[in-house]
A and B are shown apart, each in its own frame.
Chain A
């Protein structure tokens, strides 16, 4: 009887201690010496900045090393100019179709479809409509790059997700898909 009482006491105590952990909140910490960053972390919040964000915009007109600003402006005129004049800087050695396909599958195929026929998953599930088939449009290398960079109509800019070089790889892959349609 006495042993039973002790076991019950132990069980009760261990329950009492473990009950302190709330799954909806971060757990207790033992001396969190270097748990919290002293340095500013990219996506953290901070009162040091007026908008409270640690990711501040760079000064307008500044050009980081290794980056070439895109010269065509985001307008119909700019689109036409790019369509007529802009050529891919990739030569046959640096075009990587496998990578272009990967990137296309990640960023484009959900609407445009794996074949570029405008039958992506979202279209099939009728989340929205009006995604054209590449075959039905007069597109060039320059216009594809321009549209990925700025977006057009319902399509948004993908300059955030893809670097310039990646956009050119995707462009090359799009042109290949179009030729196969």
Chain B
């Protein structure tokens, strides 16, 4: 047996004396069991919100965009705010599964499945807005460069809105493939444990005949690594492209070169906050506290703190550059944010995004589940306001004072947003009862290096002590 060196400073990622079978049972339990009353209540609420959103979208499409609070000055408000917000939330999933994989972060294994699910479901929500904020959504297929009978009339590839189409659709499809590939061994596990012929059949189809041979695993690892390598630039480019919707314009307050990295940082910030919110609930209701430990939450909080600080620096940079630029329109745009009619949204954004993550410097707060949960929610509120502030305050007062105006959302604006939240939770709640919410195959791969019982064993028996049969040859590693 080769020796295994694991720094004793590392805390266990799997707590409780779990063995391989326990992992299987714990992951399969929510899938194999029946939904309880709370699940049905949550699901009904989400479904009601979703259906209300469907009604609001149907109303919008049937009567026109005038059902929203947009006006001739402010052509984008809640629609694009929510779009960017949802895309941003989706980014943490890929970050957790791809970037943390490239950095060999073992702690991602317990959270990547749900984070990727969150990516998929929130990108689906995001994808609704570009379609339904169109005046004529039934002609949405015209954004695709398809040969046609208009003398083969094509799209203009100069618009970031077209890049959005490519970015979002690529992002969704790559994330979906990445997610599904990772699911194959876990679906196979559920297939092999299936109790009824129906579930057996369903998971047989979903697992694509995974049999877990050495060659399969070897290729599986390679594919994961390649996809992680592809998904990482994708994460950065997708939100960069989303930020180009604003950064490439000539609007003071939008036309900034800082937007791409700052939007990406904001996306990671809000995405991790959403993962944190969801997992804090999930670890409790699905009894996964042994896998999603306080350490996971702490590490996510640290990332929230770091990206929150990056966002804070970006805010200060914007303010500095506005002052330094000597462009009075730019200066006014930021003065208007801070002291104009939407001052409250600006200061709400500042408070939520810059101040709240800074409390994570205190270990007591970042290791407190309740505090993390609240701050995660606060961050997502703050990040919604960040997009709202960037979009609306830049538009409602720009070059010509004669076109200054205000924005007032209608119930349809709100209904669409509520509907996407409902839709998201409908998907997420269904996912949490039918999919293996923890990548058990991956978690099992860190069992011997990072679980509490093996760590304890190593402490007692030295670095060789990861089996009952082969300890006691050398004792002096420790």
Contacts and interface: CB of A to CB of B under 8 A. Distances in A.
4 contacts: A31-B136, A31-B138, A31-B139, A33-B136
Contacts of A33: 136
A101 B168 CA distance: 66
B32 to A, nearest CB: 38
Contacts of B138: 31
A88 to B, nearest CB: 48
Closest 4 CB pairs of A and B: A31-B138, A33-B136, A31-B139, A31-B136
What interface size band does chain A fall in?
Answer: under 10
Grouping DSSP codes into helix (H, G, I), strand (E, B) and loop, the A interface class, with mixed when no group exceeds half, is loop
A111 B432 CA distance: 89
Contacts of B139: 31
A31 B136 CA distance: 10
Interface in B96-149: 136, 138-139
Interface string B134-175: 001011000000000000000000000000000000000000
Interface of A: 31, 33
A31 B141 CA distance: 13
A55 to B, nearest CB: 32
Contacts of A31: 136, 138-139
A31 B138 CA distance: 8
A31 B137 CA distance: 11
B150 to A, nearest CB: 13
A161 to B, nearest CB: 35
A32 to B, nearest CB: 12
A18 to B, nearest CB: 15
Interface in B320-335: none
A1 to B, nearest CB: 26
A154 B138 CA distance: 59
A82 B346 CA distance: 86
Contacts of B136: 31, 33
A31 B134 CA distance: 15
Nearest to A31: B138
Nearest to B139: A31
B134 to A, nearest CB: 13
Nearest to A33: B136
B153 to A, nearest CB: 15
B380 to A, nearest CB: 38
A33 B139 CA distance: 11
B68 to A, nearest CB: 20
A31 to B, nearest CB: 5
Nearest to B138: A31
Nearest to B136: A33
A162 to B, nearest CB: 38
B141 to A, nearest CB: 10
B149 to A, nearest CB: 12
Interface string B189-215: 000000000000000000000000000
A33 B64 CA distance: 13
A29 to B, nearest CB: 12
A33 B138 CA distance: 11
A3 to B, nearest CB: 24
Nearest to A30: B138
A31 B140 CA distance: 12
A33 B136 CA distance: 10
A78 B113 CA distance: 99
Interface string B10-42: 000000000000000000000000000000000
B455 to A, nearest CB: 57
A31 B139 CA distance: 9
B142 to A, nearest CB: 11
B218 to A, nearest CB: 35
Interface in B255-288: none
A33 B135 CA distance: 12
A38 to B, nearest CB: 16
B466 to A, nearest CB: 54
B412 to A, nearest CB: 22
A33 B134 CA distance: 15
